[in-house]
């Protein structure tokens, strides 16, 4: 049996990984700790490590892995902005990911955020439980006939576009690599900002997309725009978003990701003092809905994530190719 050091392990990870690991010749050591330079040593004697979105795979961690003789890390996610791919190459650590587990899964969550915010069902839920059946403040916004601007029409963005079309919305998009023939009207980024009633982010976080939505961008956006982010938190400047919400420029924001999420997401911090004032203020707004990076979390997606992660490692360790290996040059895409 080959050992896998599994970082940031959660109860919902285990059923599928337990089921698939044994037959594939793996024994999994689950660690609830995040992967950091301090915890990387837990991977001693393991053949591979398995990491998630808020684990750190920087130069220090990869150097430690290399010194432990560990040559493979399987990300059980699609995004890889938390990995220093150049350092991985330098230290001979191969990085794998799950590029597509179910694009609909994330797109459906984006749609859930959008529909909740525009029909205020999150407010109605708490009200009616307290026997408050008043409709004051619950006036919604029709989506049919509105324009949704999609940034990034890859796997998730395209699914989301189709879902929005099903709602009779007009779909426009911006992508550095457009998908011609998908029936999507591509426009420049500034035009997308000016025309969108709803703006949904589906591009990866790269040096080029860091704070793509910033103070300057908010000036271009329509008054009352609804912003949905299920991609990566740092695509949005959170302080600028907060100001745009306070000024009424942004009508509502649905955030499954947050740029400083690593400190709190996936943890129960309800009995602790939260020091992140920006997050505190965002959470206190009636038109902001935050979910803690859960867009991937469905039974079907968890199964596919486990299957692909186990297959990535088995194929690599058996010398059978590396279909989902990440290389340094893709990081700039």
Q: One of 202, 222, 261, 314 is an active-site residue; which one?
A: 261
d(Cα 237, Cα 219) in Å, to the nearest integer? 13
| Rg value, the chain, Cα | 21
Both tokens assigned to 48: 């591979």
- Please report, as residue ranges, which positions from 230 to 259 form the binding site for ligand NAD (by CB under 6 A): 230-232, 256-257
Residue 55 touching ligand NAD (CB under 6 A): no
Of 174 and 316, the one with the shorter C-beta distance to ligand NAD is 174
Which sign, positive or negative, has the C-alpha torsion 194, 199, 203, 204? positive
Of 26 and 258, the one with the shorter C-beta distance to ligand NAD is 258
Figure out which of the listed residues 151, 163, 213, 313 binds ligand NAD, where binding follows CB under 6 A.
151
SS3 58: coil
The site string for ligand NAD over 58-87 (x = CB under 6 A, - otherwise) reads --------------------xx--------
- Please report, as residue ranges, which positions from 194 to 213 form the binding site for ligand NAD (by CB under 6 A): 202-204, 208-209
Figure out which of the listed residues 130, 136, 177, 268 binds ligand NAD, where binding follows CB under 6 A.
177
Map tokens 């509105």 to a residue: 146
232 is catalytic: yes
DSSP labels for 66-106? HHTT--EEEESSS--TTB-HHHHHHTT-EEE--S-S-HHHH
Q: Which of 147, 127, 148 is nearest to 136 (CA)?
A: 127
Q: One of 76, 97, 222, 293 is an active-site residue; which one?
A: 293
Figure out which of the listed residues 64, 111, 156, 169 binds ligand NAD, where binding follows CB under 6 A.
156
Q: Which of 235, 214, 192, 217 is nearest to 79 (CA)?
A: 235
CB 204 within 8 A of CB 231: yes
Q: How far is the CB of 158 from ligand NAD (least distance, A)?
A: 8
Q: Which of 34, 40, 102 is nearest to 263 (CA)?
A: 34
Figure out which of the listed residues 153, 196, 308, 324 binds ligand NAD, where binding follows CB under 6 A.
153
Of 135 and 332, the one with the shorter C-beta distance to ligand NAD is 332
Q: How far is the CB of 149 from ligand NAD (least distance, A)?
A: 11
Q: Pairing mode, if any, of strands 250-255 and 147-151?
A: unpaired
Which sign, positive or negative, has the C-alpha torsion 55, 241, 143, 195? negative
Q: Which of 56, 116, 25 is nearest to 263 (CA)?
A: 56
The site string for ligand NAD over 254-273 (x = CB under 6 A, - otherwise) reads --xx----------------
Q: One of 109, 232, 311, 314 is an active-site residue; which one?
A: 232
Q: How far is the CB of 152 from ligand NAD (least distance, A)?
A: 3
Residue nearest to ligand NAD (CB): 154
Q: Which stretch binds ligand NAD (CB under 6 A): 23-31, 83-91, 292-300, 304-312?
A: 292-300
Q: Which of 14, 151, 36, 31 is nearest to 82 (CA)?
A: 36
Q: How far is the CB of 296 from ligand NAD (least distance, A)?
A: 4
Which backbone phi and psi does 74 adopt, to 5 degrees? -105, 120
261 is catalytic: yes
Both tokens assigned to 299: 């039974």
Both tokens assigned to 56: 């750190």
Q: How far is the CB of 220 from ligand NAD (least distance, A)?
A: 15
Active site residues: 232, 261, 293
* Contacts to ligand NAD by CB under 6 A: 78-79, 100, 103, 106, 151-157, 174-177, 202-204, 208-209, 230-232, 256-257, 293, 295-296, 333
């Amino acid at each position: 049996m080959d050992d896998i050091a599994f970082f940031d392990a959660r109860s919902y990870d285990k059923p599928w990984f337990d089921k698939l690991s044994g037959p594939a010749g793996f024994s999994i050591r689950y660690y609830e700790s995040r992967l950091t330079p301090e915890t990387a040593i837990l991977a001693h004697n393991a053949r591979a490590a398995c990491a998630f979105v808020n684990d750190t795979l920087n130069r220090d961690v990869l150097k430690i892995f290399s010194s432990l003789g560990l040559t493979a890390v399987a990300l059980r996610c699609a995004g890889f902005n938390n990995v220093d791919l150049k350092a991985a190459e330098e230290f001979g650590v191969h990085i794998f990911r799950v590029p597509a587990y179910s694009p609909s899964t994330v797109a459906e969550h984006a749609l859930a955020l959008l529909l909740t915010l525009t029909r205020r069902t999150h407010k109605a839920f708490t009200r009616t439980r307290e026997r408050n059946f008043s409709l004051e403040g619950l006036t919604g916004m029709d989506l049919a006939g509105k324009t949704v601007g999609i940034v990034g029409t890859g796997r998730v963005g395209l699914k989301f576009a189709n879902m929005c079309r099903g709602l009779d919305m007009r779909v426009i998009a911006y992508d550095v690599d457009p998908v011609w023939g998908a029936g999507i009207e591509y426009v420049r980024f500034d035009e997308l900002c000016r025309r969108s009633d709803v703006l949904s982010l589906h591009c990866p976080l790269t040096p080029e997309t860091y704070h793509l939505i910033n103070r300057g961008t908010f000036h271009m956006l329509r008054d009352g725009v609804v912003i949905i982010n299920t991609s990566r938190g740092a695509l949005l400047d959170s302080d600028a978003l907060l100001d745009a919400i306070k000024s009424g420029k942004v009508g509502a924001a649905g955030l499954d990701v947050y740029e400083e999420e690593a400190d709190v997401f996936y943890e129960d911090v309800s009995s602790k003092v939260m020091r992140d004032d920006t997050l505190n203020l965002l959470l206190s707004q009636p038109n902001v809905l935050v979910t803690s990076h859960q867009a991937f979390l469905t039974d079907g997606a968890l199964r596919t994530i486990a299957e692909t992660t186990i297959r990535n490692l088995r194929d690599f360790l058996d010398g059978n190719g590396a279909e989902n290996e990440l290389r340094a040059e893709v990081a700039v895409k």
